[in-house]
Each structure stands twice: as structure tokens, then as C-alpha cells.
Chains A and B, each alone.
Chain A
């Protein structure tokens, strides 16, 4: 079952901040975040494994609320290079096995100069 992402699309001016949300109806083992530019393969941003953990690099960070099965990706002072489609991927706790890495429908982020 795909996680649910919101919003579907965001248009920002360079330097503005953005938040992308991801939620699941199942108990999550991990949350992944990837960015895909048009015609290219998705590129890994970060993975969150523990409840309440927040990770980040540069001006992109993320949080994971294990109790609510939710994660948010924060893009601070956005740059033109941040444009693309952002996907959250989730792995659930499954009895005795793995359900594989399942992705949401994506959030299109457009950064304007």
C-alpha cells in the first residue's frame, strides 16, 4: 500500500522554505526520501529509522514520528537545484518478512528565480 504524500505540488521562489509530508496507515520500520529530476533516476536523500529521529544534510532535513507513522521533509532556503519530484518510500513492520520499499505518488517542487 502506497504512503500518502502531500502536497501534490509546490511552487516557490528561490530562498523560500517548503515542507513535504508523508503518512502511512501501517507501522513503519523506516522512511526514505528521494528526489527525481525529469528523465533521470531517483536519487537518495536520506533514511530515517527511529521514532522521532531527525536527519539532514545541508539545508534539507527530515523528521519521523513513529507513533503517527508520519514523516516530513524540510527544504530550507530553497535553491533552483532543489526542483524536481520528491518521493517518500516506506518499509513496514511485517510478521516474519519484508514488504519491500513502497513509494508515494510524489510531490512536484518547482523553484522559480
Chain B
């Protein structure tokens, strides 16, 4: 079955540690996205990638980093510079960046203590 997989579903980290969230898709999509979801804030775009080895900052990129070395994978690192990292993180992909349906993963809930 084709789809987009995020792992793990729940993640706990101590304050000051970097943590990497995994996102893998087997849909052969060029575009991939990372969103952060907080209560009352909707989905806020962190980073997106149009193609392998290319990515752009979204609205709230500070404190986050990404890589896109393979078409299937778009991992997100939450660094210690991110002041409020506790949130629900959603990864999505689409065939291309413009004008195409986005498919979402089931999300990772990150809690930093």
C-alpha cells in the first residue's frame, strides 16, 4: 500500500537535546512538507521541499532543520534552539508543489520535558 509514514507516534526528549522526526513516503511524490500543529494555531508550515536536495523555509523555520537526500525521505530535526518544541508534527507529500492534493502522515507528538 502506498502512503506516508511518520515515526515514532510519540516521542519524549529532555530539554536541550536535538531530536529527529522521520517521514517516509512511497508515493513517488516530488514535494514534501513539514507542519507544526498547536491548539488554536492550525497547521503552520515549517519547511517544504520541491525536489531532492532542495528545500525552502516556511513560516516558522527557526529552530528546525531538514534534509532531502532521497526522494522518499524528508527528516525534520528539532534543535535545542527551538524554544517551544512540544507540539504535534505532521508530514505531507504531493506529486508536485503547485496545485496538487497533499497526503498527510499520522503525525508525531513530541513532548520535551
A102 near B101: Cβ-Cβ < 8 Å:
no
Once the chains are docked, how many angstroms separate the CA of A29 from the CA of B106?
Answer: 27
Number of interface residues of B (CB under 8 A): 27
**CB < 8 Å: which of A2, A49, A100 contacts B99?**
A49
Q: How far is the CB of B70 from chain A (nearest CB, A)?
A: 20
Q: Could you say which residues of chain A place their CB within 8 Å of the CB of B45?
A: 100-103
Interface range, A side: 20 to 34
A30 near B103: Cβ-Cβ < 8 Å:
no
B42 near A44: Cβ-Cβ < 8 Å:
no
**CB < 8 Å: which of B44, B48, B92, B98 contacts A2?**
B44
Interface centre among B44, B103, B104, B106 (most CB of A within 10 A): B104
Interface residues of B (CB under 8 A from A): 33, 35, 40-45, 48, 50, 56, 58-59, 90, 92, 94, 97-107
